[in-house]
Structure 1
Amino acid sequence: MPRPEIVDLFAGPGGLDAAARDLGYEVTGIEFDQDACDTRAEAGLLTLQGDVRDFGPHKFPNATVLAGGPPCQTFTVAGSGAGRRALDEVIGFVRRMARGEDVRSKLAVLDDDRTGLVLEPLRWALEALRDDRPYEAIVLEQVPAVLPVWEEYARVLSANGYWVAKPKVLHTEQFGVPQTRRRAILVARRNRMAELPEPTHRLYRKGVPQDQGDPDLKPWVSMAEVLDRPTPFEVVSNYGTGGDPRSRGRRTSGEPAFTVTGKVSRNRVVAADGRELPRFSAHEAGVLQTFPRDYPWSGRAIAQQVGNAIPPLLGKAVLTAALGTAKEYASESEDRAGGQR
């Protein structure tokens, strides 16, 4: 039996795809950015380079799983904020799409062209339904500000025959990622209950020691546990401070990293005695995102590639809960097909 296939929209350098490959899935990612495509090529990931808006489900007739992480820049705290300001409009477009309207020509009203890309996974899902080839499963991720959009997606998908797990913001450190990043996750299944992953690690709280918390969960993972740095250090963050030095957060190497963004090199790294140490390299940023140490980063803007990616460890947790391994998924589909004969 051929391996189950996933089509991944806005695939980036391969955070979700690398996780899916580990689980045995065949994945084709659609990615526009040349640098990310260079990395994907070196990593051996199947890629169709281009704009997601120029393609549709008919291009991938064998894919039974739709995944995607639309660009987040207009929705992030560090970004322009255009997406956050346009949430009501975006949700209105979701409802219009659910009624069968093609809204692509109407998206010019949005302040930033990238904001409308969050609607693309729904377009793909609805087109597949109209073609009577619905995706068996849908897995989407984005920054927390997009949660209301995923909740509207959930209502539309539920009305079209999907079981949808209540969309939720997951904390990456609760899945072994040495970083406090949050992602809004949507999982939908066509023929069975959809599930989100249960935390395996404790939630990080400032001032709460690593060995305290729920005894049934593992301790969160610190920077020191994954980075090859010989001495303890402290990170002084420039993220979300508005440039005000008094607002800059600090984390010791014995804690998880702040959210890794494409501007990770702006964070200062200092020794206990105040000496300036080398700032995080793009390679170290990749490790903090849980990419393999030998991941073949290529092209330019590697830090931006890393910052835009879903941590593979979180991706693996979500895919395992949503689909299981490729072997389990295929067996389940085969059993279902047999029961329908």
Structure 2
Amino acid sequence: MLKVASLFSGAGGLDFGFKEAGFDIVWANDIFLEAAETYKINIGPHITTESIENIPSSSIPDVDIIIGGFPCQGFSLANTKRHTEDSRNKLYLEFVRVLSDKRPLFFIAENVRGILSLGEGKIFERILQDFSDAGYNVKFKLFNTADYGIPQSRHRVFLFGTRKDLDIDSDHFPPKATHCNPISAKEKGLYPWISIGQALKNIPEPEQNHNLENHTASQYKLRFNGYIGHRLIDPDQPSPTITARGDERGGVVIHHHPKNHRRLTVREVALIQTFPINYKFIGSNTSVYRQIGNAVPPMMGKVIAEAVLKTHHQWQKKQHDTKHAIAA
């Protein structure tokens, strides 16, 4: 079983996906205390809340892969004040530092699509170079999670690094899409996107009898002006991106129910993000909305994890074939 260390782990969306794919998460880190409590109750007690800047690499276990979505608030297209000197942009260097010191076989890093255009693309070039200088060949792709069976249009960049001395070009990243727009699904031999209406069709109203946790009604009065958090929702399409504007510096975004009659509950937002229905969240509703909005959808995490696993098998086969060729 491949061992994983997780940075900027949050409530555990990416980690849960890797766990579901059969990886062993042995160490995790995040400074968001309530998110860490959510992580502990669902994934395990191995998360620490010390700032990564204060954690020496020597205290992190040796692992096969390091994963993490380094803080993205400074990179996000939703942040109209984003700039290249945002201090939060530099936390990826802590990722690079740990990667350089620990030298795992692989790494996965996730971020918003705004990272591709920051500084006219020069910042992303710098990030790729830093990962290369740390000793890794890097592939990246901008994904729409709706293309992988997630009931949400969410565009995120994933970087997949393989240690250079492995000398392997993965055939499995990026993973192929499984879903697409219903109009062209049959022609392409793919499943149609899953809509927000489908995802929530069996979820009772909060005031009805139910045994769901984190499923309480909000008194928030909806507005419809077309801006993020105030858009009319089409129940037959994937949900717009579930977002939270990052941290305590930004307010939580309001997301409408597909019937457009109330705000989504915490449980409904979590289901759209593909957290299991029994995944427990710790903290106030405001905190939990933020935890969920900041997370990688676990189902997307599993898709990425499976690509890593197949790449590992590909590398093992290459090693095996090389040994037999030498022996012959």
TM over 0.5: yes
Pick aligned residue for 1:123 from 97, 104, 108 = 97
Q: Which residue of 2 aligns with 1:200?
A: 178
Aligned length in residues: 289
Q: What is the deviation of 1:137? A: 0.3
The Cα of 1:216 is off from its aligned counterpart by 1.7
Q: State TM-score, norm by structure 2.
A: 0.77
**Partner SS, residue 169 of structure 1:** strand
**Equivalent in the alignment of 2:50:** 50
Contact 2:30–2:48 under 8 Å retained in 1:
yes
Q: CA deviation at 1:334?
A: 8.2
Partner in structure 1 of residue 141 of structure 2:
168
Structure 1 unpaired stretches of 5+? 87-109, 129-133
Q: Offset of 1:81 from its aligned partner?
A: 3.0
For the residues of structure 1 that align with 2:54 and 2:238, how far apart are their CA atoms?
39
Residue 66 of structure 2 is matched in structure 1 by: 66
Contact persistence 1:75–1:145 (CA under 8 A): yes
- For 1:16 and 1:54, the matched residues in 2 are separated by 23
- Residue 188 of structure 1 aligns with which residue? 161
Give the corresponding residue for 1:267: 255
Q: 1:270 to 1:123 in 2, by over 3 A?
A: closer
Alpha carbons 1:237, 1:267 under 8 Å: kept: no
- In 1, Cα distance between equivalents of 2:98 and 2:169: 21
Tell me which amino acid in the other structure corresponds to 2:39.
Answer: R
Instruction: List aligned pairs for 1:305-324, cutoff 5 A.
Output: 305-324=291-310
Q: SS state of the match for residue 323, structure 1?
A: helix
Shift of 1:61: 3.7
Distance 1:9 1:238 in 2: 37
Tell which deviates more after alignment, 330-339 or 38-47. Answer: 330-339
Q: Which residue of 2 aligns with 1:288?
A: 272
- Aligned partners of 1:4 and 1:329 also within 8 Å: no
The aligned amino acid for 1:193 is D
**TM-aligned CA distance change 1:338 to 1:31, over 3 Å:** farther
1:222 aligns with 2:195: yes
State the superposition RMSD in angstroms: 3.2
| Closer/same/farther in 2, CA of residues 316 and 269 from structure 1, 3 Å limit | closer
How many angstroms does 1:266 deviate by?
2.2
Q: How does 1:231-270 map to 2 (within 5 A)?
A: 241=227, 249-262=231-244, 266-269=254-257
Q: Paired residue for 1:96?
A: none
Task: State the match for 1:32 in structure 2.
Answer: 31
CA contact (8 A) 2:196 2:258 kept: no
Q: SS at the partner of 1:127?
A: helix
Letter in 2 for 1:114: R
Equivalent residue of 1:63, what SS?
A: coil
**Any idea what SS the aligned residue of 1:117 has?**
helix
Q: Which amino acid in the other structure matches residue 316 of structure 1? A: K
- Give the TM-score normalised by the residue count of structure 1: 0.74
State the alpha-carbon separation in 1 of the partners of residues 281 and 323 from structure 2.
44
State whether residues 146 and 154 of structure 2, in contact with CA within 8 Å, keep that contact through their aligned partners in structure 1. Answer: yes
- State the percentage of identical aligned residues: 26
